[in-house]
Amino acid sequence: MANDRIMFDDGTTEVAVVAHNKPLPVYLAATGPNSDGATLTKVAVTMSGASGVLVAASATRRSVMVSNPAANAAAAFDPTGGTCSLTAGIPLAAGQTITITGKAAQSAMTQIGTNLQVLTVYTGA
């Protein structure tokens, strides 16, 4: 079993070997023949420097992608919807994107970051 390999053809001329240290790439697609049918919605969330709403709870949501496009600002979010702080939330560094899927994506979420900093949020339902 240790020598078993799974091959992944990504449509290029190369074939990638999938192993425990080289996981299979995963893509979230809004539409297409290999799609789960999710429709993505994009929202810009402007932060105030205090804990605030990132997304409201939604029983139909399947995914949340949070991106920090700022080049030099720190942000954090709390996927449980509690009061968020930079030291007690999940950090989101400049240029970083985090994706949450499944039941966890359905809860309310909060954010905090530099005043007037903008996070880009994509939700899929």
Which residues, 6 or more positions from 26, have their beta carbon under 8 angstroms from its beta carbon?
none
C-alpha atoms less than 13 angstroms from C-alpha of 119 in its C-beta half-sphere: 32
Number of helices and strands in the chain (H, E):
0, 10
Which residues, 6 or more positions from 70, have their beta carbon under 8 angstroms from its beta carbon?
94, 114, 117, 118
- pLDDT of 70-104, one tens digit each? 888 889 999 999 999 999 899 998 889 999 999 99
Where along the chain do its domains lie?
A: 33-124
- Flag whether pLDDT at 39 surpasses 70: yes
CA distances from 86 to 69, 75, 98, 113 (A): 17, 7, 16, 7
Distance CA 39, CA 61 (A): 10
Overall average pLDDT of the 29-52 stretch: 75
- State the fold for domain 33-124: Jelly Rolls (2.60.120)
The token pair at 119 is 């996070």
Q: How many residues in the chain?
A: 125
- Flag whether pLDDT at 7 surpasses 60: no
- Flag whether pLDDT at 32 surpasses 50: no
In this structure, is the dihedral angle defined by the CA atoms of residues 104, 105, 111 and 114, taken in order, positive or negative?
positive
Classify burial at 42, counting beta carbons within 10 Å of its beta carbon; exposed 0-12, middle 13-18, buried 19 or more.
Answer: exposed
